[in-house]
Every structure is written in C-alpha cells, then in structure tokens.
Amino acid sequence: MEIDHFDPRKKEDFLQQYENLFLATRHCNGAKGMFWPSAGDQALGLRYLNPCRERDYGEHLFENPKTHLLVGVTPAGKYHIRMCDLNADHFIAERRERAEIWELLRTAVTVKRNRIPQMAADLAEALRKQAENMIPEFPQLPNGTTL
C-alpha cells in the first residue's frame, strides 16, 4: 500500500490536506499517475470515486459474481475502473479467492452449528480473518443482469 493523492494536481501544495490523501495499492497509484479528468470529461460525469467521501461504491460499480470483474454502471464508475486498472488479473484473482473463502465460511457456519470438531471452527475463523484483509466485497449484479 502507498499514500496516494486523490487529486494529483495538489501534490505540489506546501501543506497537504488530509482529505486529499488515502491508501492505494502500488498498482492503482501507478495506473492513475498524474491523470485527472479534464473539465470536459467532468462535464460528462467522468471522475474518480473519492474513497474519503464515498464509502459505498454500490451506485457506481458492481462485481460480476461469475467472472469477478468489476462493472461500472455510471460514467464515474466506468472511469474509475478503467483509470485505476481495477480489473487487472491479480485483482480478479484476489476477488475470486475472497469469494471462495466467504463461501467456505458460509458453509463452515452450518458445520459449526452441527457441532463438528473445534478444528473446523478454528479453520473457519482463520479463513474469516484472511478474507477480512482482502479486497472488500463489492455489491453484485442482480442475477441475470449483464452489462
């Protein structure tokens, strides 16, 4: 993880404002670089999603539960995915792994309720902790929806 400037044009300011700094992966920070949408782009709704102000990206982007690709449904969501390269192979692989872990955990809850040995519960807890440190879950497209 790296500290990224939300608006890279403010990078040269003598005093850095907290609301312009956030954590980003090296990959996303490098992909975004010094790019900032032009006034014309912004008039079309093209912009970066601000992680300091927008906690729920659910109105802008969703995860396809089969492919684990992120799908933008607004101009801002599409722009953010493209410019930050959020569908890079390693991100897709991590989202797929996260989904598999959460599915195992959902199954483990049933196993735990049926009083299977403590080892299964311990395994489920270890997987839960690992999954919590991965890319957060995104809202998923409703079944049958394609974009």
* Strand 70-72 with 61-63, pairing: antiparallel
Q: The pTM is what?
A: 0.70
Per the CB < 8 A criterion, the answer to whether 124 and 109 are in contact is: yes
- As for how many domains the chain has, the answer is 1
Token pair 């995104």: residue: 138
Binned at pLDDT 50, 70 and 90, residue 46 comes out as very high
Highest mean pLDDT: which of 5-9, 23-27, 74-78, 117-121?
74-78
From the list 72, 76, 91, 75, the residue with the least C-alpha distance to 28 is 91
Q: How many CB atoms lie within 10 A of CB 46?
A: 18
Q: What is the mean pLDDT of residues 90-108?
A: 85
Q: What percent of the chain has pLDDT over 70?
A: 86
Q: In this structure, is residue 54 part of a structural domain?
A: yes
Q: Is residue 137 domain-resident? A: no
Q: Which domain holds residue 32?
A: 2-132
CA nearest neighbour of 24 among 73, 85, 78, 89: 85
Residue with tokens 């300011």, as numbered in its chain = 13
Is the CB of residue 4 less than 8 Å from the CB of residue 23?
yes
Cβ atoms within 10 Å, residue 107: 12
